[in-house]
Amino acid sequence: MHKFANPTRFLKLAAAVFPWAAGLTIALFAAGLVMALVFSPDDYQQGSTVRIMYLHVPAAWMALFTYTVLAASGAASLIWKHPLADVAGKAAAPIGAMFTALALVTGMLWGEPMWGTWWVWDARLTSVLVLFFLYLGYMAVWDAIDNRATAGKAAAILAVVGFINVPIIKFSVDWWNTLHQPASVFRMDGPTIDASMLWPLGLMFGAFNAYFVTVLIWRIRAELQARRVRALEDLLVRQTERESAV
């Protein structure tokens, strides 16, 4: 891991991985969407509405996963002071916020026909909403501090503190109110979903993961290049200043 903290080495690796990740994203989305929207069976209770789940469930998973990535890169930034860890966190945050928003919106679209309401103050909905605000706070810290090194460290502290708080928030909100159905895929006694629905769900999960990797690499590269541009600009300004002084 320390080996790839070097931006140059990372860029070389990223250039090799990127086309594969992008291709995988397209392929998995194509296969997953066709299976989920066309070939998978209707639910005996929910009818076609169940197809929203093929977007909703992976989005919700990825919302949590991305926050874990954020906290891990925050910890790496604080412990080892990896320059790339800050960049990775900054690049991951908007993707995570997007996944969270997607989970919320698809959940609302599903809730209206199924529960008869767009929104209930249920435990899972509420904790995902709080997670969304945690993402916004993290991004706001990056925006508010001009010095990039300071901003990165401040955001890293917030990500780690937020990560400690996520289970506490989750638990407290569960205690407070629960309507959402319990987990049905990751269970000790195996999934309770039929294979005809588990397959498209698995494909969509893979597609979301590949999408995350693709966009993350893309955004990290863009950020590194933006930093290079700014460094060159600074150099140019200093040079012109020196020349005008002479």
Partner 1 sequence: MRSILALLGRDVGLSWAAGGSTRLALAFFALTVTLFPFGVGPGAATLAKVAPGVVWVAALLASMLSLDRMFETDFEDGSLDLLAIGPLPLPLLVLVKTVAHWVSTALPLLVLAPVLAITLQLESTAYPALLASLVIGTPALSFIGAIGAALTTGLRRAGVLLSLIVLPLYVPVLIFATGAVDAARNGFDTAPHLMFLGAVTLVAVVVGCWAAAAALRLHLE
Q: Is 165 in the site for partner 1 (CB under 8 A)?
A: yes
Q: Which long-range contacts (CB under 8 A, 24 or more apart) does 74-80 make?
A: 74/155, 74/156, 74/157, 74/158, 74/159, 74/160, 74/163, 75/156, 75/160, 76/1, 76/5, 77/152, 77/153, 77/156, 78/153, 78/156, 78/157, 78/160, 80/2, 80/5
Q: Is 72 in the site for partner 1 (CB under 8 A)?
A: no
**Do residues 102 and 57 touch, judged by C-beta distance below 8 A?**
no
CB of 91 to partner 1, least distance (A): 20
Q: Is 140 in the site for partner 1 (CB under 8 A)?
A: yes
Q: Is 130 in the site for partner 1 (CB under 8 A)?
A: yes
Query: Which range binds partner 1 by CB under 8 A, 33-41, 53-61, 86-94, 151-159?
Result: 151-159
How far is the C-alpha of 66 from the C-alpha of 98, rounded, in Å?
10
Q: Is 221 in the site for partner 1 (CB under 8 A)?
A: no
Query: Which range binds partner 1 by CB under 8 A, 160-168, 181-189, 199-207, 235-243?
Result: 160-168
Angle at 18 between CA 12 and CA 21, to 5 degrees: 145
User: Of residues 33, 108, 145, 213, which one binds partner 1 by CB under 8 A?
Assistant: 145
Contact residues for partner 1 (CB under 8 A)? 78, 130, 133-134, 136-137, 140-141, 144-145, 150, 153-154, 157-158, 160-162, 164-165, 168-169, 171-173, 175-176
